[in-house]
Amino acid sequence: MGLKDITLKQQYRTDRDNLVTDFFIPCLSNSIEYDRAVEYVTLKSISTLSLGLQNFVQNDGKIRLITGHRYRSADLNILSRVFNKNKVANGNGIKNNKLELLQKLIQKNKILIKIAIPNSEQVDGAFSEKIGIFRDEKNDMIAYTGTSNETFNTEDRNFESVDVFTSWNDRSRVDIKINDFENLWNNETKYVQVYDFVYANENNLLKYDSQWAIETIS
Report pLDDT digits (tens) over 123-148: 666 788 899 999 998 999 999 998 76
Does 133 reside within a domain? yes
User: What pLDDT sits at residue 207?
Assistant: 76
pLDDT at 1 over 90: no
Q: Which one-letter DSSP state was computed for residue 13? A: E
**HEC profile of 64-93:** EEEECCEECHHHHHHHHHHCCCCCCCCCCC
User: Taking Cα atoms as reference points, which of 63, 61, 53, 46 lies closest to residue 30?
Assistant: 53
Identify the domain containing residue 154 by its residue range.
8-212
Strands 33-38 and 63-67, by their bridges, are: parallel
Residue 95 binned pLDDT confidence (cut-offs 50, 70, 90) = low
Please name the residue ranges forming H helices in the chain. 25-29, 43-52, 55-58, 73-82, 96-107, 171-185, 197-202
Give burial (CB, 10 Å; 0-12/13-18/19+) of 72.
buried
Strand stretches in 136-206, DSSP E: 141-145, 161-166, 192-196
Orientation of helix 96-107 relative to helix 73-82, angle to 10°: 60
pLDDT at 203 over 50: yes
Does 3 reside within a domain? no
Does 141 reside within a domain? yes
Q: What CA–CA distance (Å, rounded) separates 168 from 6?
A: 12
User: What pLDDT sits at residue 85?
Assistant: 67
Count structural domains, the chain.
Answer: 1
Q: What is the domain-level CATH number for residue 169?
A: 3.30.870.10
Does 201 reside within a domain? yes
Q: What CA–CA distance (Å, rounded) separates 214 from 75?
A: 9
The pTM of the full predicted model, rounded to 2 decimals, is: 0.84
User: What pLDDT sits at residue 179?
Assistant: 97
Does 102 reside within a domain? yes
Identify the weakest region by mean pLDDT among 10-24, 37-51, 133-147, 189-203: 37-51
Residue 89 binned pLDDT confidence (cut-offs 50, 70, 90) = low
Does 171 reside within a domain? yes
